[in-house]
């Protein structure tokens, strides 16, 4: 350990961390290239070749040129996954309109009524009447 001072250990750890961070970003960019449906096949091939032949420069240029689009595609993918998950839950729970048995239908109707009341579309009195109708 005498031959390797503490400052050299710090620099080695820093460079290793930056290399791992760059690898993570490279894989994120590659998945983003394939996820982008607006980019043509030639565009995808060009970005891939650029990121593979000039890896550090390619990653930096991609993040600068298409960084905002990356975040939009990430958000869209998360929303689509959430919607698919919610749809799956509705189908397996058997709520009406999803091909189920009707279990939980009154709970869904009450939730819709509460949402309408919260948005101000119906009054508290209308909510109570509709609630009594659903529960009976």
Give me the pLDDT at residue 98, please.
Answer: 46
Q: Report residue 119's pLDDT band, with 50, 70 and 90 as the boundaries.
A: confident
Residue of 35, 87, 30 whose CA lies nearest to 58: 30
Task: Give the whole-angstrom CA distance, residue 3 versus residue 16.
Answer: 20
What is the mean predicted confidence (pLDDT) over 68-90?
88
- pTM exceeding the 0.75 threshold for the entire prediction: no
What is the mean predicted confidence (pLDDT) over 78-91?
87
pLDDT at residue 20 tops 60: yes
* In contact, 52 and 58? CB cutoff 8 Å: yes
pLDDT at residue 23 tops 50: yes
The mean pLDDT value of the chain amounts to 85
- Residue 107 has a CB neighbour count (10 Å cut-off) of 12
């Amino acid at each position: 350990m005498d031959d390797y001072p503490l400052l050299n250990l710090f620099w080695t750890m820093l460079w290793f961390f930056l290399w791992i961070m760059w690898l993570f970003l490279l894989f994120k960019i590659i998945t983003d290239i394939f996820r982008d449906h607006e980019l043509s096949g030639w565009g995808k091939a060009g970005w891939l070749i650029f990121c593979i032949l000039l890896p550090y420069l390619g990653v930096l240029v991609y993040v600068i040129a298409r960084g905002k689009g990356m975040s939009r595609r990430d958000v869209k993918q998360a929303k689509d996954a959430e919607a698919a998950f919610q749809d799956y839950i509705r189908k397996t729970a058997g709520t009406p309109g999803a091909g189920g048995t009707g279990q939980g239908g009154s709970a869904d109707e009450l939730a819709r009524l509460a949402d309408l009341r919260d948005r101000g579309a119906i009054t508290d009195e209308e909510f109570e009447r509709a609630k009594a109708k659903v529960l009976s």
